[in-house]
Chain A
Amino acid sequence: MRHIISVIVENKFGVLARVSGLFSSRGYNIDSLTVGETNDPEVSRMTIVVKGDDSILDQVMKQLNKLVDVIEVVDLPREQSVRRELCLIKVNCNSGTRTEILEIANVFRAKTIHIGHTSLIIQITGTEEKINGFINLMEPFKILEVARTGVAAMQRESKEQ
């Protein structure tokens, strides 16, 4: 089962290595990991997608909590959180296929951010499922490159509210 864990950490030297090292040294697999500053520049948020049963999730959360630089660890259940990912796709095109690609992109509310003679770069934002679906539809046109950010997620209601 896939879980999305939100980890609030002190924005300190080496904290990313501590978190990723914990996963590798204990044999847990990370599907994706995103990290960035929050509104407080001393604090960063990591969003980690991890696969495993409940006992693995329980250990991951406890081990993360043990790290001195970790301030808070939250498991984000699907129904109580929003999840988004951004993806850039460079796809092969010619005058015959360009319009069709743009139409599909339009349906997905994806943005075209570069148009060249032989390729397009499309930016799509959404859930992983939506992005997977879009990539799937682009396959026949020959995908040249894909860059995904990994999932960022947030609880719908904050505890404070």
Chain B
Amino acid sequence: MKLTGSDIFIECLRKEKVEVLFGYPGGVVIPIFDKLYDAKDIRFVLTRHEQGAAHAADGYARATGKTGVCLATSGPGATNLVTGIATAYMDSIPMVAFTGQVPMSLIGTDAFQEADITGITRPITKHNFLISDTSKMVDIISEAFYIASTGRPGPVLVDLPKDVSTGMIDFEWPEKPSIPKGYKVVKYADPSVIKNAADAIKASKKPYIYTGGGIIISGAGKELVTFAERINAPVTTTLMGLGGFPGSHPLWVGMPGMHGTYTANMAFTDCDLVIAIGARFDDRVTGKIEGFAPNAKIIHIDTDPAAIAKNVKVDIAVVGDAKAILEQLLEVVKKRDRNGWNDYIDEMKTSHPVTYDKKSGTIKPQYVVEQIYEATKGDAIITTEVGQNQMWASLFYTYDKPRRFISSGGLGTMGYGFPAAIGAQMGKPDAIVFDIAGDGSIQMNIQEMATAVEQKLPVNIAILNNKFLGMVRQWQELFYGKRYSSTNIELQPDFVKLAEAYGAHGIRVDKPENVRSAIEEAISIKGPVILDFIVDREENVWPMVAPGAALSEVMEGLF
């Protein structure tokens, strides 16, 4: 059968069961868009900026566990994907990004809309490909999806020169999909390693379980609960791991790190064993390395060998899939009874709750998040932007299930939350989706309002509007003598009118008593809604561990 590269591209998407594709057309990808025009089984979502397409594919992947897919043209289309690809890379999100490229014969000539996108994205992709010949398309695309979704997932970029997508070849499906030669994924660990870990757990009087996004990626939530209950160890989940262990479980102590709970941070300082599962000891979690878990042995379970012993010294390294390793551990680990350690942790949780000033009479951002939690019964998909809004969304909403909290953890990308919410809503059409946003971040990808309206997505944006770039302002207040350099953004659009200009709904809320009813009204509206909550301008995120300080130096707000 004679097919063009673009026909084969569409067939490859079908083979990979791609239901949704986010993207933006341009010169060299017109042949592909011409085929998409007829491919009614693949829903194409036209974003209004390529960055929005990358974040939407990422949000779709995080909400569903499937691989997100985006498509952009060469040159500026491709470079506009870069922030989205880097965001997915830092958080290990399965994504395949397709970019158009100038014809092979023009590569390297500084042709119109040419950019060396495989060169540019090399450090921010798990792998990337330039397809140099139409005959290689099937193998490369199947390898791209395989690499993106297995092991420690990540974005893979595939660059498609125009002559490759227009080239015509005799086409036949290969007998089996191509798998790259040097690519290895380890699932189970050697039993001797498991025994070492089990012995360390048995010997521990103060064990502490520290989990990250790996639990969610491998779907190990059930095994984690069984394991934690078996050894009666307190559990902390990182920002990426929220929902990987139920937030309402009595063993959960909250999130660790710079804006982690008092208990989660002190537990690191006091424990004698850290059992890290699918977490990478990020600097925002560990604080000053010298003060991190000073009395503890560390067991580190991770699918990526390079994540182990990268930031901290590890006593027992266990390479493998979180779920598989937990199954192995559950076969050998014996029950551990509660002891004084558990009482100490429970007492800390009671005496150091995460809280805020509830008597101010103004709208507190934390109150808005709590009310979203109550109105959605804790079952919404929450995406966040980056900054104070992100921290309040993680501290004041309880996540009992995985894939409910979607946030740019590693890269910290402002402008992520709204397009990610669009992607999440596409993947989970029946879910209630809220983007908890700041007035700064939301303006970074506000153009996607048109996408949300066009796709009739009931995405809700809750702007915690303090007319500041709040997190930077908080640092300036605490560490730079209140010199608010370039963080006052009082000049801003009327977000209600802005929503209306796009054909969406806008609701402004400036009194605490109207918060809940506005949230409920937004949920009841079928299309996108912007909720503009006018909150306390100089509210800070507490608790906080100052940059460069040890976790034991956690500061709490005074209420």
By a beta-carbon cutoff of 8 Å, the part of chain A in contact with chain B is 9-10, 13-14, 17-18, 21-22, 25, 55, 58-59, 62-63, 65-72
B122 CB within 8 Å of chain A: yes
Question: Are the CB atoms of A14 and B118 closer together than 8 Å?
Answer: yes
B119-144, CB under 8 A of A: which get 1 and which 0? 10011001100101000000000000
A73 to chain B, nearest CB (A): 10
**CB neighbours of A55 from chain B (8 A):** 309
Which 8 pairs between the two chains have the least Cβ-Cβ distance?
A62-B306, A71-B182, A68-B127, A25-B123, A62-B305, A70-B182, A68-B183, A68-B180
B148-192, CB under 8 A of A: which get 1 and which 0? 000000000000000000000000000000001111100000000
Inter-chain CA distance A121–B147, complex, in Å, is 50
B290-318, CB under 8 A of A: which get 1 and which 0? 00000000000000111011100000000
A13-B130, A21-B123 given; 8 more Cβ-contact pairs under 8 Å: A10-B182, A14-B118, A14-B119, A25-B123, A55-B309, A66-B305, A66-B306, A71-B181
Question: Are the CB atoms of A66 and B304 closer together than 8 Å?
Answer: yes
Question: Are the CB atoms of A65 and B305 closer together than 8 Å?
Answer: yes
Question: Are the CB atoms of A10 and B181 closer together than 8 Å?
Answer: yes
Inter-chain CA distance A67–B125, complex, in Å, is 10
A20 to chain B, nearest CB (A): 10
Inter-chain CA distance A25–B125, complex, in Å, is 13
Chain B interface bracket (under 10, 10 to 19, 20 to 34, 35 or more):
20 to 34
Inter-chain CA distance A137–B183, complex, in Å, is 48
**CB neighbours of A18 from chain B (8 A):** 122
Inter-chain CA distance A62–B306, complex, in Å, is 5
Inter-chain CA distance A59–B307, complex, in Å, is 9
Question: Are the CB atoms of B119 and A68 closer together than 8 Å?
Answer: no
Question: Are the CB atoms of B182 and A59 closer together than 8 Å?
Answer: no
**CB neighbours of A63 from chain B (8 A):** 306
The SS class assigned to the A binding surface is helix
Question: Are the CB atoms of B305 and A17 closer together than 8 Å?
Answer: no
A95 to chain B, nearest CB (A): 50
CB-contacts of B265-311 with A (<8 A): 304-306, 308-310
Measured CB to CB, the nearest residue on chain B to A14 is: B118
Question: Are the CB atoms of A21 and B122 closer together than 8 Å?
Answer: yes
CB-contacts of B177-217 with A (<8 A): 180-184
Measured CB to CB, the nearest residue on chain B to A55 is: B309
User: Which of A25, A62, A67, A71 has the largest number of chain B CB atoms within 10 A?
Assistant: A62
A41 to chain B, nearest CB (A): 14
16 chain-A/chain-B pairs, Cβ below 8 angstroms: A13-B130, A14-B119, A14-B122, A14-B130, A17-B122, A25-B123, A58-B309, A59-B309, A65-B184, A65-B306, A66-B305, A68-B180, A68-B182, A69-B127, A69-B182, A70-B182
Inter-chain CA distance A15–B147, complex, in Å, is 17
**CB neighbours of A21 from chain B (8 A):** 122-123
Option from B132, B181, B306 in Cβ contact (under 8 Å) with A13: B132
Inter-chain CA distance A56–B240, complex, in Å, is 27
A105 to chain B, nearest CB (A): 43
Measured CB to CB, the nearest residue on chain B to A22 is: B123
**CB neighbours of A72 from chain B (8 A):** 182
Inter-chain CA distance A63–B304, complex, in Å, is 10
**CB neighbours of B182 from chain A (8 A):** 9-10, 67-72
Inter-chain CA distance A45–B163, complex, in Å, is 32
Measured CB to CB, the nearest residue on chain A to B304 is: A66
**CB neighbours of B184 from chain A (8 A):** 65
**CB neighbours of B127 from chain A (8 A):** 67-69
**CB neighbours of B308 from chain A (8 A):** 62
Question: Are the CB atoms of B310 and A59 closer together than 8 Å?
Answer: yes
Question: Are the CB atoms of B119 and A17 closer together than 8 Å?
Answer: yes
Measured CB to CB, the nearest residue on chain A to B180 is: A68
Measured CB to CB, the nearest residue on chain A to B122 is: A21
B318 to chain A, nearest CB (A): 15
**CB neighbours of B132 from chain A (8 A):** 13
Inter-chain CA distance A21–B304, complex, in Å, is 20
B308 to chain A, nearest CB (A): 8
